[in-house]
Amino acid sequence: MAINGIQFQKGLSVAQFMKEYGTEEQCQAALMRARWPRGFECPRCSHGEAFEFDRRGRHHWQCKACKYQCTLRAGTIMEHSLLPLTKWYLAIYLMTQSKTNIAALAMMRQLGISWKAAWLLKHKLMEVMAQREADRPLEGDVRVDDAYLGGERTGGGPGRGSKNKVAFVAAVEMREGRPQRLRFDPVANFSFAALGPWAKKAIAPGSCVTSDGLLGFEVLERLNYQHRVVQAPRGKAGTEIEPFKWLNVVLGNLKTALSGTHHAFSFAKYARRYLAEVQYRFNRRSDMASMIPRMAHAVTRTRPCPARSILGRSGLET
Ligand SMILES: [Zn+2]
């Protein structure tokens, strides 16, 4: 791949990050700007004035109009977290400024917190990314392919690999020969029944979608998208031909980004979040430094997620 400005942008250095987000006060001020850019706004009645006081180590606001009391974290995905804001910001830094997904174990070491706390924090931030990306369909010239991840674990019992295998649709929006945005959406399979709802969510009406002619993608025509089928000539893999070149590059990057950050066991269960982390970073790669305030803003807009909904039905699996 050619050297380009995106790959060589500076991002935010560790030194600069520590200068801006090194103390609890700085993080509190940054989160305040992220949640209430125009100053306090009552979550209940939108009134702009409040009395402020500290209670049990947390700063509180009491709305002057309706008397509602809240903290900066109340009503957000941070609500139930006991971790200092410096840890939240450092986790956001680690997850947004790297090309690869960070493992919970690495986060545990970097943040100096327990493995369970690191795992939960990472999954809450991945959930923020997943919710942020969910309703942003690709548009225009879109290339799609069916793909699988996981299931590569060897040495297990029969069928274990396939149990952990996750089917997903990889899609890239192209403009002037360059990839703009991408989506990775897990699907149950590649049938009409599964791909119809996927298409409506992932691709804007009127788009022109290119596929390799996999039967399930014919559902695109039924849904009134323009559907272009390009098949590889005999002896060539579909991934080698031009329309799918970038799709192939991003799938390669995805595998690199995920390698070592998860065990095959948990992958199937949490695939939506793992894929969303890569998608979120890619779709904002042109301005890495701004990802920290943008991610903090997204955190304040994501509703509380109790641990059990983050963990999933059968509890924590690694
Ligand atoms: Zn109020």
Number of Cα atoms under 13 Å in the Cβ half of residue 26: 14
Amino acid sitting at position 232: A
Beta strand pairing status for 208-211 and 50-55? unpaired
Q: What is the pTM of this model?
A: 0.90
- Would you state the structure tokens that stand for residue 101, as one six-digit string? 């997904």
CA of 66 to the centre of ligand 1 (A): 4
Q: Which residue bears the tokens 């509380």? A: 304
CA of 83 to the centre of ligand 1 (A): 27
Mean pLDDT of the chain: 88
CA of 74 to the centre of ligand 1 (A): 14
Confidence at residue 314, expressed as pLDDT on a 0 to 100 scale:
63
Question: Under 8 Å CB-to-CB from 230, ≥6 apart: which residues?
Answer: 210, 211, 212, 213, 241, 243, 244
CA of 293 to the centre of ligand 1 (A): 26
CA of 193 to the centre of ligand 1 (A): 46
CA of 41 to the centre of ligand 1 (A): 8
Name the nearest CA neighbour of 85 among 273, 300, 252: 300
Name the nearest CA neighbour of 223 among 168, 149, 144: 144
Strand partners, 183: 171
CA of 68 to the centre of ligand 1 (A): 5
Alpha carbon 20 to its chain's center: 24
- Would you state the structure tokens that stand for residue 36, as one six-digit string? 């209430």
CA of 105 to the centre of ligand 1 (A): 41
CA of 44 to the centre of ligand 1 (A): 5
Confidence of residue 153 (pLDDT cuts 50, 70, 90): very low
Average pLDDT over residues 229-234: 86
- Would you state the structure tokens that stand for residue 106, as one six-digit string? 């690495």
Strand partners, 208: 141, 226
Confidence at residue 156, expressed as pLDDT on a 0 to 100 scale:
40
CA of 89 to the centre of ligand 1 (A): 28
CA of 61 to the centre of ligand 1 (A): 10
- Express each pLDDT in 79-114 by its tens digit: 989 999 999 999 999 999 988 888 888 999 999 999
Map residue 88 onto helix, strand or coil.
Answer: helix
Q: How many residues does the chain have?
A: 318
- Would you state the structure tokens that stand for residue 129, as one six-digit string? 């990314």
- Would you state the structure tokens that stand for residue 200, as one six-digit string? 């409506």
Neighbours of 314 (CB within 10 A): 7
Confidence of residue 257 (pLDDT cuts 50, 70, 90): confident
Number of Cα atoms under 13 Å in the Cβ half of residue 58: 17
- Taking a C-beta distance cutoff of 8 angstroms, is the pair 187, 149 a contact? no
Q: Which residue has the higher pLDDT, 163 or 87?
A: 87
CA of 295 to the centre of ligand 1 (A): 26
Residues 218 and 285: their CA atoms lie apart, in Å, by 32
Residue 233: phi and psi, rounded to 5, are -65, 160
Residue 162: phi and psi, rounded to 5, are -70, -30
pLDDT at 220 over 50: yes
CA of 75 to the centre of ligand 1 (A): 14
CA of 64 to the centre of ligand 1 (A): 7
CA of 45 to the centre of ligand 1 (A): 4
CA distances from 156 to 152, 251, 267, 316 (A): 10, 26, 15, 20
Residues 152 and 307: their CA atoms lie apart, in Å, by 29
Map residue 101 onto helix, strand or coil.
Answer: coil
Element (H, E) at 311: helix 307-311
The b/e string for 238-268 (b: 16+ C-beta within 10 A; e otherwise) is bbeeebbebbbebbebbeebbeebbebebbb
- Express each pLDDT in 10-44 by its tens digit: 778 999 999 999 999 999 999 999 999 999 999 99
Q: Which residue bears the tokens 């840890």? A: 87
- Would you state the structure tokens that stand for residue 214, as one six-digit string? 């996999």
